[in-house]
Structure 1
């Protein structure tokens, strides 16, 4: 049962990053604006989109699920800053809290490992 729950948890977290990928390629403008706001070039949105897709796949199939979990926890904390900058909108504060909660789940995944159902270790 534990391995099935581990897999289900990884899939659910991966769906969040897959959704981020779809959102970024479907409507890159808002993310480009956030990226530009910190002095990076707008085209960096495509790098972030690719990272989201790769991360989603690697969380589910591997390899190095624990490493990806730590990287993604850091990514969630880092991207929270963009939403915090827009905190006048209560929805943005909710996204900050969600990002920190997901980061916490990812750190638990990193600590305990992905379970038995991983395609590539």
Structure 2
């Protein structure tokens, strides 16, 4: 069921594309041919315009308008603008060139112009027809807008991520390093209490001085005999 519906929709879209292209060309071809003829023979066109009570010199501007308008409609370029302009042109043509409705020929021409004006008004209402310059431009514009929206959303996500990262960094407790304690110097101890200029600890390990008052080469304390009183100082 779904495949059938999708196939029918695809076929309908294809028919719409073909109808849009053919319809624009059929509306435009009469103006393309008419404008080209006016530019090829402007003198005859100018004479017809003057006969209708209009000023001379409008042949070339009218031919350029019809040719450009017809090409724009065929290509689907600025469709709404040229549709309303050509519809008005058809109605103005009835007023100046086909107002004698008692004449069957003039009446038929007037009805033809009315039908063409109606076709242009329908084209103005449905200017988004497929396979036209306007449709492609609108599609490209939509693509550009969608891409810009995606870029804005991506930028917003990046900004949000950066803001979240900054918030997390602000709430994280930074560990505080322990203060460095300088070593305390040991107190200075005085080891020269007798003030003789020599460290008392050195004096303790020095050998006692030799006492040899009798000059016999042996320490008197080691001889074990009393010292001759005559040798005492």
- The interval holding the TM-score normalised by the smaller chain is 0.7 to 0.9
Q: Deviations over 1:65-88 (max 9, x none)?
A: 111101100000001122324545
1:83 aligns with 2:97: yes
In structure 2, runs of 5+ residues without a counterpart are 1-14, 138-233
Q: CA RMSD in A?
A: 2.0
Q: How many angstroms apart in 2 are the aligned matches of 1:114 and 1:7?
A: 12
Q: Deviations over 1:3-30 (max 9, x none)?
A: 2201111001111101211332344345
User: In proportion to residue count, which structure has more helix?
Assistant: 1
1:116 aligns with 2:168: no
Q: How does 1:69-108 map to 2 (within 5 A)?
A: 69-87=83-101, 89-108=103-122
Q: How many residues align?
A: 120
The residue that corresponds to 1:38 in the other structure is 53
Q: Match for 2:81 among 41, 48, 67?
A: 67
1:28 aligns with 2:32: no
**TM-score, normalised with respect to structure 2:** 0.47
The residue that corresponds to 1:4 in the other structure is 18
**TM-score, normalised with respect to structure 1:** 0.85
Q: In 2, are the aligned partners of 1:17 and 1:52 still within 8 Å (CA)?
A: yes
